[in-house]
Structure 1
Amino acid sequence: MKRIILVLIGLGHYASVGICAQSAPCTTPTGHPGLCVPLEHCRNIYSIIQSKQRPSQGILNYIRRSVCRLPEVRKAVCCQLTEVDQTIASLAPDKPLLPTNCGTTTADRVAYGKETGVFECPWMALLRFRDFNQELVDGCGGSLIHERYVLTAAHCLHDRKLILDHVRLGEHNKVTDIDCEGVDGDCAGPVQDIRVETTITHPMYNNPKFRNDIGLVRLASNARLDDQIKPICLPVTKEYSNMLHSKYILTGWGTTENNSLSNVLLKAYLPRVDNEQCEHIMRNNSLTIALGEQQLCAGGSDRKDSCRGDSGGPLGTVGLLYNEPRFIQFGIVSIGVNTCGLKNIPSIYTRVGLYMDWILENIKPS
Structure 2
Amino acid sequence: MLSRNECRVQETTTFLEDMRPVNVATVSTRCVQYLNIQFTNTMRPYGHPILPSLFCIYAVLTGSILSAQNTPDRRLSCSMLVFEDLHYVNFSTSFSCPSYAFRCKYGACIDRNFKCDGKRDCIDGSDENLPECKGHVTTGSGSNCPSDHFKCKSGECIDSTSTCDGTKECKDGSDETHDLCKQNKCPSFLFKCKYGACVTKDSKCNGVKNCADGSDEDQCHTVTTVVTPIHKPSQTRPPTHPSTHPPSYPPSNKPTPAPLPPIKNKKCTVPNAEGSVYTYSNNNQTLLSPGTKVNQYDFILENCKANYYQAGPARVRGCMDNEVWTPVFTDILCLKMCSPMMSDSLNLLCTFNGDITSCSKPSQPGTKLKPSCKPTHSLPNAQDETPIELTCQQDGQWSGQLYKCVPDCGRLFINSMPLISNGNLTRYGEAPWNTGVYRANTNNSFDLICGASLISPNLAVSAAHCFWQDGQTEKIIENKGLYKVAVGKFTRGIDIKDNEFTQIVDVERIHIESKYYGSSGFHAEDIAVIVLPIKVTISIAVSPVCVDWKVRYSEQNGATGLIVGWGKTENAVLSSKLLQAKLPYIDHMTCRNMYTNGFELFVTSDKFCAGSKIGQGVHEGDSGAGLTFVHSNLYYLAGVVSVKDPNTNDSIAVFTDVGQHVSWLRNIYLNYSNDNISRTIKLLH
TM over 0.5: yes
Which of 533, 538, 544 is matched with 1:220 structurally?
A: 533
Which residue is 1:95 aligned to? none
Which of 591, 614, 619 is matched with 1:307 structurally?
A: 619
The secondary structure found in structure 1 opposite 2:595 is helix
Task: Tell which has more relative contact order, 1 or 2 (C-alpha 8 A, sep 6+).
Answer: 1
- The amino acid across from 2:452 in the alignment is G
Which of 323, 328, 346 is matched with 2:636 structurally?
A: 328
Q: Note if contact 2:639-2:656 (Cα within 8 Å) is conserved in structure 1.
A: yes
- The amino acid across from 1:219 in the alignment is L
Q: CA deviation at 1:134?
A: 3.9
Does residue 1:247 correspond to 2:247, yes or no?
no
- The amino acid across from 1:279 in the alignment is R
Q: Tell me how large the CA RMSD over aligned residues is.
A: 2.8
Q: CA deviation at 1:212?
A: 0.4
Which residue is 1:291 aligned to? 603
Which residue is 1:201 aligned to? 512
Q: Note if contact 1:271-1:301 (Cα within 8 Å) is conserved in structure 2.
A: no
Which residue is 1:154 aligned to? 464
Residues 24-39 of structure 1 correspond to what in structure 2 (within 5 A)? none
Shift in CA distance, 134/299, structure 1 to aligned 2, threshold 3 Å: same
Which residue is 2:594 aligned to? 281
Which has the larger displacement, 305-314 or 286-295? Answer: 286-295
Q: Note if contact 1:105-1:120 (Cα within 8 Å) is conserved in structure 2.
A: yes
Q: CA deviation at 1:291?
A: 2.8
Does residue 1:234 correspond to 2:540, yes or no?
no
Q: Note if contact 1:123-1:229 (Cα within 8 Å) is conserved in structure 2.
A: yes
Alpha-carbon distance in structure 1 between the residues aligned to 2:469 and 2:487: 21
Query: What TM-score does the superposition give when structure 1 sets the normalisation length?
Result: 0.63
Which has the larger displacement, 231-240 or 346-355? Answer: 231-240
The secondary structure found in structure 2 opposite 1:272 is strand
The secondary structure found in structure 1 opposite 2:552 is helix
Alpha-carbon distance in structure 1 between the residues aligned to 2:636 and 2:503: 23
Shift in CA distance, 346/202, structure 1 to aligned 2, threshold 3 Å: same
Q: Note if contact 2:491-2:576 (Cα within 8 Å) is conserved in structure 1.
A: yes
- The amino acid across from 1:131 in the alignment is N
Shift in CA distance, 139/357, structure 1 to aligned 2, threshold 3 Å: same
Bigger Rg, structure 1 or 2:
2
Task: Answer 1 or 2: which has greater helix percent.
Answer: 1
Which residue is 1:74 aligned to? none
Q: Note if contact 1:273-1:346 (Cα within 8 Å) is conserved in structure 2.
A: no
Shift in CA distance, 345/266, structure 1 to aligned 2, threshold 3 Å: closer
Write the deviation string for residues 109-151 of structure 1: whole angstroms up to 9, x where unpaired: x111111122211111000001345441111000111111111
Does residue 1:105 correspond to 2:416, yes or no?
no
Which of 663, 669, 674 is matched with 1:357 structurally?
A: 663
Q: Note if contact 2:501-2:541 (Cα within 8 Å) is conserved in structure 1.
A: no
Alpha-carbon distance in structure 1 between the residues aligned to 2:482 and 2:560: 32
Alpha-carbon distance in structure 2 between the residues aligned to 1:132 and 1:177: 19
Which residue is 1:174 aligned to? 492
Q: Note if contact 2:448-2:492 (Cα within 8 Å) is conserved in structure 1.
A: no
Alpha-carbon distance in structure 1 between the residues aligned to 2:551 and 2:587: 22
Which has the larger displacement, 166-175 or 289-298? Answer: 289-298
Q: Percent identical across equivalent pairs?
A: 25
Alpha-carbon distance in structure 1 between the residues aligned to 2:501 and 2:492: 11
Q: CA deviation at 1:282?
A: 3.5
Does residue 1:270 correspond to 2:573, yes or no?
no
Q: Note if contact 2:545-2:636 (Cα within 8 Å) is conserved in structure 1.
A: yes
Alpha-carbon distance in structure 2 between the residues aligned to 1:159 and 1:192: 28
The secondary structure found in structure 1 opposite 2:569 is coil
The secondary structure found in structure 2 opposite 1:354 is helix
Q: CA deviation at 1:345?
A: 4.7
Task: Answer 1 or 2: which has greater strand percent.
Answer: 1
Write the deviation string for residues 224-268 of structure 1: whole angstroms up to 9, x where unpaired: 11111111111123312x545622222111111111111111111
Question: When the two structures are aligned, how many residues end up with a matched partner?
Answer: 254
Which has the larger displacement, 345-354 or 168-177? Answer: 168-177
Q: Note if contact 1:271-1:298 (Cα within 8 Å) is conserved in structure 2.
A: yes
